[in-house]
Structure 1
Amino acid sequence: MESNDFFPPHDGIGLRELASHLGAELLDDTAGNRRIRSVAPVARAGEGDICYILSRKARGDLESCSASAILCDEALRPIIPDHIPVLLTPKPHAAFAVAGGLLHPIALRPPRILSDAAGIHPAAFVDPTARLEDGVEIEPMAVIGARAEIGAGTRVGAGAVIGADVKIGRNCTVAAGASIIAALIGNNVIVHNGVRIGQDGFGYAPGPRGMIKIVQVGRVIIQDDVEIGANTTIDRGTMDDTVIGEGTKIDNLVQIAHNVRIGRHCGIVSGVGIAGSTTIGNGVMIGGASGVNGHITIGDGVQIAAMSGVMADVPAGARYGGVPARPLKDFLRDVAESMTRSDERAKRRGDRNE
């Protein structure tokens, strides 16, 4: 790949120092002074790059690899070419993620629109009653509403809108074009481009002349260390709050409806829709394009396969998949049986046509 002006290489970290920081074992100490400047996939990693390998399926990629270091576990150590220094770790994927953050810290958050941004840009609007701690950055065309409060180290991107009375903690990033109303945001929260937080939930009652709008007077509460992907929407509660728990990571294009409560350290992948008043426990993983019914409970540690339809409560620790979602082993058995029946029907059709 050509030189990347968006995320340039690091000045360099010594391999011995990097291994110490990652808690990995450098097997060849004579390589300890090599400088690591960037991350790369195995197949095209070159001098100054670090890469990682998780499976023997990537063995072919090692033939073209000239990385200055590779992260792997003990089981894969024998297949690594002798010319590549090995950093041995039981969790190479996690170690690679940490290494990437060290080498490319600016890529951990949405980039600044202006490289020299500092303080409040003259083209931003900040209501006189808003309270901003020292060290807040407000980029051009952003709007900060009446009585809003923003903590030190937080950056509000170009064109973003922070509504009246919103409170945002310290060291947050609100990227370009996002809007936040009726919300309380914790510390170290990342809100990507185009996110919508705190708009109306979808609530109507049938009336004699059609649908009557139900007022939505709740809030959105987002706890510390949450990350929210681009163009995701999180509706405010009807009368209670919509809550996103500490450390939860939400992908792009996710819809979270009013009164939903999501626990800590969950992962919700792109295209998921969660209907109103659903409660999701801690450590839950929901695969892409899944739909979750309203007014149900998903227990701690549940895993939902991609493109599932969750219609009813799911017990803690369960693995579900399919439409309607059911225990994963049942879903996979049903799929296998369906494929067998399909093959048998195709064979019978073929026999009749002979």
Structure 2
Amino acid sequence: MAEPQFFPVATSLDFGEVAVISGTALPEGVDASRPVTGAAALETAGPSDVAYMDNPKYTDALASTKAGLCLVSPRFAERVPDGTTALISPAPYHAFARVLSRFFPDALKPASVFGSQGVAPGAFVHATAVLEAGVTVDPGAVIGPGAEVGSGTVVGSHAVIGPQVRIGRNCAIGAGCTLQSTLIGNRVIIHPGVRIGQDGFGFAMSPKGHMKVPQIGRVIIQDDVEIGANTCIDRGASRDTVIGEGTKIDNLVQIGHNVVIGRHCVIVSQVGIAGSTTLEDFVVLGGQVGLAGHLTVGMGAQVAAQSGVTGDVPRGARYGGSPAQPALNWARESALLKSLVAKRAKSIGRSES
């Protein structure tokens, strides 16, 4: 039985076209018309494939690759074996991504299972909803009253688009997503199982019990945002939760009510951001970072994985640890603690002997 091909190659290219797409130059004497039919890893690439390499861990794989073309940084160019043409780039991974996007455009965002534009049998679109031309609604999806969906957008199977939700153009809403109280820009990718616009965790607490506080804000998602599978973004309490342009959010992230995330931030899996915290532009949060509420993380700051942030982080800072602190201090404390433990163990060993 043949193996299924989930992402068939959309086109074939030649050496010259790959060079143009990747922003590189072919070495003199190389046949620009030689065909390239796919892209692969160094270890599995063949003479008609393009591969890339920019990590010293893979020098052995580079030395033995059979790839026809290999995108490499200048420092590895001399290691490219005979029979493989080196395309030298200051950013091989970015260059490879551009080529890969040309070969496999369907892998860039969740695809329709319906396979063609229009509303599939088994989908429900309310009579007052507005769908521009070119929208695809997969079987089982529900689009509620007053909702609006822009052209080129795909709404996946069993996704639920709540009343008055606005979705821009050329978006992808993955299977099983639920969206309510949300305004979404253009070219937004939302992977399967994402929950957006549900209640924020708001209670007026007292010794007699906890009174639920109505959450009357919205979620605003700007253009070119990507949100990973099973992430949850709560709507605002009395103001909006905002996700800024170009921000990329991984799977299984929790974003609380009133959180404001700036432009082009990167938030890795299992991060938790408590309510009313602000991330300025270009912030990076490693996996499993936890942020307390009502904090500000300054522009360009980076927080190491598994850190617990309990106070504001300055612009451009590098923080780590729990509670999080400047990375240099964290590294020094870790080294000192390791040294003290080693000395203590050595001292105990001497006393026992």
Question: TM-score, length-normalised on structure 1?
Answer: 0.96
What is the aligned-residue identity percentage? Answer: 49
Say if 2:337 is the partner of 1:351: no
Q: How far apart are the structure 1 equivalents of 2:351 and 2:13?
A: 69
Is the 1:10–1:37 Cα contact (8 Å) retained in structure 2?
no
Say if 2:120 is the partner of 1:88: no
Q: Structure 2: which amino acid aligns with 1:226?
A: V
Q: Structure 1: which amino acid aligns with 2:73?
A: D
Q: CA deviation at 1:9?
A: 2.9
- Corresponding residue SS for 1:43: coil
Q: How far apart are the structure 2 equivalents of 1:13 and 1:28?
A: 19
Match in the other structure for 1:229: 228
Is the 1:27–1:88 Cα contact (8 Å) retained in structure 2?
no
Is the 1:16–1:29 Cα contact (8 Å) retained in structure 2?
no
Match in the other structure for 1:168: 167
Matches within 5 A, 1:1-354: 5-114=5-114, 116-207=115-206, 209-354=208-353
Q: CA deviation at 1:136?
A: 0.4
Moved over 3 A (4+): none
Q: CA deviation at 1:29?
A: 4.4
Q: CA deviation at 1:118?
A: 2.3
Q: Structure 2: which amino acid aligns with 1:48?
A: S
Is the 1:206–1:212 Cα contact (8 Å) retained in structure 2?
yes
Is the 1:28–1:85 Cα contact (8 Å) retained in structure 2?
no
Unaligned runs of 5+ in 2: none
- Corresponding residue SS for 1:42: coil
Q: CA deviation at 1:311?
A: 0.8
Q: How far apart are the structure 2 equivalents of 1:342 and 1:27?
A: 56
Q: CA deviation at 1:76?
A: 1.2
Q: How far apart are the structure 2 equivalents of 1:256 and 1:14?
A: 45
Q: Structure 2: which amino acid aligns with 1:124?
A: A
Q: Deviations over 1:136-186 (max 9, x none)?
A: 000001000000000000000000000000000000000100000000000
Is the 2:111–2:172 Cα contact (8 Å) retained in structure 1?
no
Q: Deviations over 1:249-306 (max 9, x none)?
A: 0000000000000000010000000000001000111000000111011111011111
Q: CA deviation at 1:207?
A: 3.5
Q: Give the paired residue count.
A: 352
Q: 1:353 to 1:49 in 2, by over 3 A?
A: farther
Q: CA deviation at 1:63?
A: 3.6
Q: 1:331 to 1:121 in 2, by over 3 A?
A: same
Is the 1:229–1:252 Cα contact (8 Å) retained in structure 2?
yes
- Corresponding residue SS for 1:188: coil
Is the 1:200–1:236 Cα contact (8 Å) retained in structure 2?
yes
Is the 2:11–2:102 Cα contact (8 Å) retained in structure 1?
no
Q: Deviations over 1:69-108 (max 9, x none)?
A: 1111212111111211111111111111111111110000
Is the 1:150–1:167 Cα contact (8 Å) retained in structure 2?
yes
- Corresponding residue SS for 2:145: coil
Is the 1:195–1:231 Cα contact (8 Å) retained in structure 2?
yes
